[in-house]
Structure 1
Amino acid sequence: MGRVFKVLFGLCVVGACAAAGLWGTQALLSGEAEAGGPPPQSKVAVGVTRPQTQTIDDAITAVGTLMPLRTVALTPTVPGRVTAVPVSSGDQVAPGDLLIQLDDRAARATLAEAEASLAETSQELARVDELADRNTAAETRLESARAAYARAEAAVMQARAALDDLSITAPFAGTLGLIDVEPGAVLDGSMPVTDLSDLSVVQVSASLPERYYERVAPGQGVTITTPAYPDANFEGEVTVRAPQIDLATRSFTIRAEIPNPDGQLVGGMFADARLVFDTYDGLAVPDDAIISEGLTTYVYVARDSAAVRTDVVVGSSLGALTEVREGLSQDDEVVISGWDNLTDGAPVEIVDDAAAVTDE
């Protein structure tokens, strides 16, 4: 009996020791955890800036082609030999200026003969008309004299027209194109000898997307730039908006007129045409702050020493800045450097010199 009691007592002592050891181990581990814990997250150095207020244009730019206000290919209407070319390529001419003269000797002779015949028939008509007043001439003779005079008058008009056809003159004031004709050359009456362009005003033709149709109207201002004069702006206004949409491109054509008093602009030049619909004040941030992932665009804002991921809606590009239409206020501190080490909620340390922060 006593032996059994000793055995039971020993088992109880062993169990108690085991329980005490387990409890001690747990307490020890718990104490270590409370004393050390995970190391705190280190702060990320970032450079920040506040959104800037910018004057922003609600505008669209389209590539267009310049055309003279009017242009014509000058072609002789009759064949002939060139006797004079009193102008040169690129000359400025006035309406009626002689450009090319063809041999007109035969035409002048024909005109002289027609004028002589007209004078003769005119005298005959006057004589017969006087006799008719005295009732000494028959009515048929008077009618015959009148018909002869009319035919002679028509012959003079025809001879003058034929003579005029041998002189190519400027139909309006403008600038001549290249002239490769010399005296002595024989023209066949079918090939243009030069072009005449009115460059006092040039037109620009451009296509715009359909969604802008309602916003464009004649009289609207246009500014153009060209590769030939990259630092110059030329102002004009819309004169025509096409009355239909192109079904293939879903766009419409506009034409604008640009005054060209110095003759700098010529037909065929490419031009960037810019139309401004509205001007307003908005917020803009440096391009370096904008982050795009798929269809999402966002920035990081430093707030209460932490990075806050903030979705934004961007607008126009303003050189090194980008317009932000939604998502930011003027007091926000937007991260412009160091953001590639950030996650939403990460602790940050703002560095005064944003340029000193390197994105690693």
Structure 2
Amino acid sequence: MTKEPDAVTFASDTGASRSTWIAAALVVAIVAWMGSGFIFPSEDAAPVVEREELMPVAVAVTSSVSETVGQFYQAEGQALPDRDTMLRAETSGDIAEVFVSKGEDVVAGAIIARFDATSSTADLNRAKEELARAQRELANAEQLLERGVATTDRVIQARTTLAAAQSEVADAERDADALTITAPFAGRIETLDLDEGEFVSTGANVGRLVDITPLTVAIQVPQQSLTRLAVGQSATVQFITGEVREGTVTFVGSSAAAETRTFLAEVEVENADGKIPAGISAEVLIPTGETVAHFLSPSIVSLNTEGTLGVKTVNADNTVEFFPIQVVKAQIDGIWVTGLPEKADVITVGQGYVNAGEVVAPSVAEVTQ
């Protein structure tokens, strides 16, 4: 008879159970050690590194004191003749004589040229004869009316004929006067297109007469500067030829040009010697008063964040301040500006690295402006 195999049984290992407890104890110890830093912080923990405070930016400043300075309006202009006119023929006919030449100076009323008077003289003589006849007819009619021989209608007709004759004489005399071309004012013959024997029609331009004594310098004034100018102000005019003359403002316009929105102003300049020609360029300088301003170098002018032109200064607390300015006068070595206090410590070096409100470390600039 076959023997049944014995059943397999497992007995717990004492060593294996011990290992499990050891591992669990290690895990608890590690967790406790890691959490102890939150419950009991170490007194030897390293301090948080804090950033050092930035030092103020070093800038150079120069003390500036305001001064009284004259204000001027400056503009470019053009010299124009005081009077300029075209010479025109008032009748038609052949030119008999020309008395002047181009470029010649003439006085007012001077005869420029004369037409052939043959036809005009004949017309004037005929008109005068008709006038004499009409006067005789009227005298006879009035005598006959007194005697009772003539009627009132005959006298009226004679008077009408006389009036027509008088009109014809006046027209003939006017035509005779038109035979002479004269200068309406003293000046220089700029152009003259006339030759003896030439036929000229009524109304034709035969020459140009200009008067450059005095000269008129015309300038264009922008809207914002119009109130600074007034008639009677003195002016200094420098022409492109190098001539410098004193003048007077004689006209300031009251209506702006539609294209440029500028106003015309005129300055009269004496030119008795005629040395300054018309048409050349000129620079006009007009004193417009005085103001209190600072003299600065253009290099220290800057723009703020809004794009305003100004100057940065340092106040008593070493804080940067920004003052908007206006340039009232420019020179080769600097500019005069308004907008600053009477006395100001202006930043001359380092203004591009600081802004308004920042504290700086100012030092006196070694260079003078």
- State the TM-score, normalizing by the size of structure 1: 0.68
Counterpart of 1:255? 265
CA distance 1:200–1:133, change in 2 (3 Å): farther
CA offsets, 1:39-63, max 9 Å, x none? x99x99x795745624131x44344
Contact 1:203–1:255, Cα closer than 8 Å, also in 2 = no
| Stretch of structure 1 that moved more, 201-210 or 338-347 | 338-347
Identity %: 19
Contact 1:81 1:187 (C-alpha < 8 Å) held by counterparts: yes
Measure how far apart 1:181 and its partner are: 2.2
Q: What amino acid maps onto 1:97 in structure 2? A: A
Write the distance in 1 (CA, Å) between the matches of 2:95 and 2:152.
50
> Which whole-Å deviations, capped at 9, do the CAs of 1:94-122 have from their partners, x for residues lacking one?
33221111111111121122222222332
Residue 55 of structure 1: aligned partner = 69
Is 1:281 aligned with 2:295? no
- CA apart distance, 1:123: 2.9
Per the alignment, residue 151 of structure 2 pairs with 138
Q: 1:105 aligns with which of 97, 118, 124?
A: 118
Asked if the contact 2:329/2:337 (under 8 Å) is kept, the reply is no
> Using the alignment, how far apart are the partners of 1:50 and 1:289 within structure 2?
13
User: How far apart, CA to CA, are the structure 2 residues paired with 1:159 and 1:180?
Assistant: 27
Whole-Å separation in 2 of the counterparts to 1:268 and 1:52: 41
Residues 297 and 160 of structure 1: CA distance in aligned 2, closer, same or farther (over 3 Å) = closer
Match of 2:244 in 1: 232
Q: Which amino acid aligns with 1:153?
A: Q
8 Å CA contact retained: 1:217, 1:241: no
C-alpha distance in structure 2 between counterparts of 1:270 and 1:71, whole Å: 18
Amino acid at match of 2:122: A
1:314 corresponds, among 294, 319, 325, to: 325
Counterpart CA distance in 1 for 2:85 and 2:119 is 29
* 1:109–1:226 distance in 2 versus 1, CA, 3 Å: farther
Q: Residues 299, 114 of structure 1: CA spacing in aligned structure 2 closer, same or farther, 3 A cutoff?
A: closer
Instruction: Measure, in 2, the Cα distance between the counterparts of 1:329 and 1:162.
Output: 76
Equivalences for residues 195-214 of structure 1 within 5 A: 195-213=208-226
1:124-203 aligned within 5 A: 124-203=137-216
Report the equivalent of 1:20.
none
In 2 relative to 1, CA 200–159 (structure 1 residues): closer, same or farther, beyond 3 Å?
same
Give the deviation of 1:166 after TM superposition.
1.9
Q: Distance in 2 between matches of 1:108 and 1:179?
A: 26
Q: CA deviation at 1:76?
A: 0.8
Please state how far the C-alpha of 1:161 moved relative to its aligned partner: 1.7
CA contact (8 A) 1:205 1:253 kept: no
Contact 2:95 2:115 in 1 (8 A): yes
Instruction: Name stretches of at least 5 consecutive residues in structure 2 with no aligned partner.
Output: 1-43, 47-54
- Mapped partners of 2:228, 2:340: distance in 1: 30
Deviations 1:184-238 (A, max 9, x none): 333234531112234444444443333345x267535262535435451432224
- Whether the 8 Å CA contact 1:68–1:202 is kept in 2: the answer is yes
Aligned-pair RMSD on alpha carbons? 4.3
Specify the code of the residue in structure 2 equivalent to 1:282: A
8 Å CA contact 1:178–1:195 kept in 2: the answer is: yes
Aligned length, in residue pairs? 317
Taking structure 2 as the reference length, the TM-score comes to: 0.66
SS state of the match for residue 178, structure 1?
strand
Q: Indicate the residue corresponding to 2:12 in structure 1.
A: none
Who wins on radius of gyration, i.e. which is larger? 2
CA distance in 2, matches of 1:161, 1:135: 40
Higher mean alpha-carbon deviation, 99-108 vs 251-260, is at: 251-260
Q: Is the 8 A contact 1:238 1:254 kept in 2?
A: no
Partners of 1:239 and 1:229 lie apart in 2 by: 24
2:114 is the alignment partner of 1:114:
no
